[in-house]
Amino acid sequence: MEFLRVLFYILVMSTICTVFSLVLPNYIHDYIGHIKDYLNPGRVCKNCREVNLQTSILKEKTTNSTEYSQYIVPYSNQTLCQNYPDAKNWRFQCSVQCKELKLTDIPSTEVDVIKSCSMLEEGVSWSIIANRTFFHVPYKSKCLDNLIKDHCQTSTAVPNIAHYIWFSKREMNFYHFLSFISALKHINPCLLLVHGEVPYGLYWEYIVLIANNIINVKMEPPTEIFGKKIGRVEHQADVARLLVLKEYGGIYLDTDEVILRSLEDLMDYNFTLSHATDNNLSNGLILSTPNATFISHWLDGYKTYNKAQWAHHSTILPNQLSFKYPHLLHIENKTFVRPNYTQLPLLFQKNFNWSKNYAIHLYIRYYKRMHTFIDVRRLKTTMGSVARYILYDTKELCFDA
């Protein structure tokens, strides 16, 4: 009897599902997909470059982090380093015990999209990533306004929202991962918004597992400015970051910009940029209040936009405007960027002393190597010290037997 009842139930349910699939709108399809994934979580990762990462994700999931709670405190083996006269130097003469990566070490605000948004609102949808419900909301939607209102109330000029632009369908790599983790750790944003497409790959899944406040904003790349076609995707991203900051305010980051300490001291300026070079302001890390007047002037400057000029409107123009409107922005003396792009060996081969930097730009398009969680533990370059500082809380070499 019991068996027949179950069989009957299955038949009725599958018929209903099939009929519904044919006639109902997309969000119901998404929901059915959600249920299917939920019941059948045997996802396979398509781009498992790093077996260790996968193992740690799986372990983390099955043990609920308990196993990881016994990690080693960073610097516990510092006595070893103290035998050296200039212990905390930038020469990597000694090694410390690096802790294991632990998901719960990385702060992330819990965001309840269902509470803030109506799921019936045009364009609001979700998908399942790494067994988490991941939300997509339209740019300039009621939903996004509510999320900001509910989670990002602030007394500072700059709201604590982190923004990334992701305009092409590409896999998240190790360096993007470092940038996202650094933002979570050192900004601890109320929302982490990825505008444009959704990244994919194992690193991305790891981020989705860690960040409970990461949301995809379905923003279309701007294709035109003052009647001119914006020819390159990089230039579209240059314009988009200004539009996003004008609309919502917050902290914009390039995907290879790594935050090294809290930006708290800068949150009361209406607009902050850093010099990249003496005649050039970087647009790789920008802090802005909503509607900052400097952005309006910057966007106006795009009247002379020309596809052939690679970095003019993104870096030279804001520098020129800063002379005209010095009261509208705060300028950092290269603390978001250095070493500059003519000093790449300092980044890729030597050990640069970044103790005064707020952030560092990794210039990934000039770097031909791809690192992993494992090989950065012994990497004797600035790239290595930055990666260890973000992942293992120490810039020193890891003592690995």
Ligand X SMILES: *[C@@H]1O[C@H](CO)[C@@H](O)[C@H](O)[C@H]1NC(C)=O
Strands 280-288 and 271-277: antiparallel
Binding residue for ligand X, selected from 131, 146, 156, 372, defined by CB under 6 A:
131
Q: Select from 333, 349, 369, 400 the one that contacts ligand X (CB under 6 A).
A: 333
Q: Which region, judged by CB under 6 A, interacts with ligand X, from 225-233, 272-280, 297-305, 384-392? A: 272-280
In angstroms, what is the minimal distance from the CB of 317 to ligand X?
11
Give ∠ CA 373-335-361 in degrees, rounded to 5: 40
DSSP string, 178-192: HHHHHHHHHT--SEE
Asked if 336 and 278 count as a contact pair (C-beta separation under 8 A), the reply is: no
* Inter-helix orientation angle 26-39/2-23, to 10°: 140
Of residues 277 through 316, those in contact with ligand X by CB under 6 A are: 277-278, 280, 282, 284, 289-291, 311, 315-316
Angle at 362 between CA 356 and CA 364, to 5 degrees: 175
Taking the C-alpha atoms of residue 234 and residue 229, their distance in angstroms, rounded to an integer, is: 13
Is the CB of residue 53 less than 8 Å from the CB of residue 206?
yes
CB of 11 to ligand X, least distance (A): 27
Contact 108, 211 (CB under 8 A): yes
User: Which is nearer to ligand X, 136 or 254 (by Cβ)?
Assistant: 254
Q: In angstroms, what is the minimal distance from the CB of 23 to ligand X?
A: 29
Per-position x/- string for 136-155, each x denoting binding to ligand X as judged by CB under 6 A, each - no binding? --------------------
Considering only the stretches 26-34, 182-190, 275-283, 365-373, report the one whose residues sit in contact with ligand X under the rule CB under 6 A: 275-283
Q: Does residue 93 bind ligand X (CB under 6 A)?
A: no
355 makes contact with ligand X (CB under 6 A):
yes
Q: At its nearest, how many Å lie between ligand X and the CB of residue 379?
A: 19
> What distance in Å separates the CA atoms of residue 135 and residue 216, rounded to the nearest whole number?
6
Q: How far is the CB of 158 from ligand X (least distance, A)?
A: 10
Among 53, 74, 97, 128, binds ligand X (CB under 6 A): 97
Specify the residue, 173 or 332, whose C-beta has the smaller distance to ligand X.
332
Q: Say how many C-beta atoms besides its own lie within 10 A of residue 232's C-beta.
A: 11
Residue position matching structure tokens 């509208």 = 328
286 burial via Cβ count (<10 Å: 0-12, 13-18, 19+): buried
Residues between 41 and 80 with contacts to ligand X, criterion CB under 6 A? 41, 61, 64, 77, 80
Nearer to ligand X, 178 or 281 (CB): 281
Of 188 and 293, the one with the shorter C-beta distance to ligand X is 293
212 binds ligand X (CB under 6 A): no
User: Within 13 Å, how many C-alpha atoms sit on residue 110's CB side?
Assistant: 3
Considering only 47, 54, 78, 89, the residue that binds ligand X (CB under 6 A) is 89
Query: Which of 313, 31, 390, 373 has the alpha carbon at shortest distance from 174?
Result: 373
Contact between 205 and 45 under an 8 Å Cβ cutoff? The reply is yes
- Binding residue for ligand X, selected from 71, 341, 367, 373, defined by CB under 6 A: 341
- Taking the complex as a whole, the smallest distance from the CB of residue 200 to ligand X amounts, in Å, to 18
Using CB under 6 A, which of the segments 3-11, 179-187, 215-223, 273-281 binds ligand X?
273-281
| Cis peptide, bond prior to residue 326, ω within 30 of zero | no
Give the binding site for ligand X (CB under 6 A): 41, 61, 64, 77, 80, 89-90, 97, 131, 270, 276-278, 280, 282, 284, 289-291, 311, 315-316, 327, 333, 340-343, 353, 355-356, 399
